Amino acid sequence: MPLNILIVDDSAVMRKLLVRMLGLCGVPVGDIVQAGNGQEGLDALAKGKYDLVLVDINMPVMDGDQMVQAMRGKPEWSKLPVIYISSESSATRIEMLIRSGAGFVHKPFVPEILRETILGLVGGDGN
């Protein structure tokens, strides 16, 4: 079953790259919606149905941590799989994110890492 995915990143170039990587990684993809910050991401969540959120950490207006905290506070979004896509280098912070139930992919990355992380969170074999 194709995954409807929300990409939240302040860089239009990174959002475009993520769309391309999703096409290359072999995971079945449905609709992809993009947002430029955490607030726009929450607005998009309110308007659509998603199977996965890919979110950057450092963004203006509302960062990825704040967005995910807001998501976890809403019953309808509390179990939605989240993968942080970030250049974060603090091992302690990355471990905290993973312990919270989120996935983490370090920028830069290759499609295989993205696929492995997605399948680890949402399951399936990618076909």
Q: Tell me the DSSP string of 61-116.
A: SS-HHHHHHHHHTSTTTTT--EEEEE----HHHHHHHHHTT-EEEESS--HHHHHH
Rg (CA), the chain: 13
Domain CATH number, residue 19: 3.40.50.2300
pTM, whole model, 2 decimals? Answer: 0.92
Whether residue 43 lies inside any domain: the answer is: yes
| Contact call for residues 3 and 27 (beta carbons, < 8 A) | yes
**Where is average pLDDT lowest: 51-60, 62-71, 85-94, 113-122?**
85-94
Residue 119 clears pLDDT 70, i.e. is over it: yes
Whether residue 102 lies inside any domain: the answer is: yes
pLDDT, position 6: 98
Whether residue 50 lies inside any domain: the answer is: yes
Which range marks the domain in which residue 107 is found?
A: 3-122
Mean pLDDT, rounded, for 58-64: 92
Question: How far apart are the C-alpha atoms of 65 and 23, rounded to whole Å?
Answer: 26
More confident of the two residues 11 and 1: 11
Whether residue 115 lies inside any domain: the answer is: yes
Length of the chain equals: 127
Residue 52's pLDDT band (cuts 50, 70, 90): very high
pLDDT, position 101: 83
Residue 127's pLDDT band (cuts 50, 70, 90): very low
Amino acid (one-letter) located at 85: I
Mean pLDDT, rounded, for 64-82: 94
Whether residue 127 lies inside any domain: the answer is: no
How many helices (H) and strands (E) the chain has is answered by 5, 5
User: Domains in the chain: how many in total?
Assistant: 1
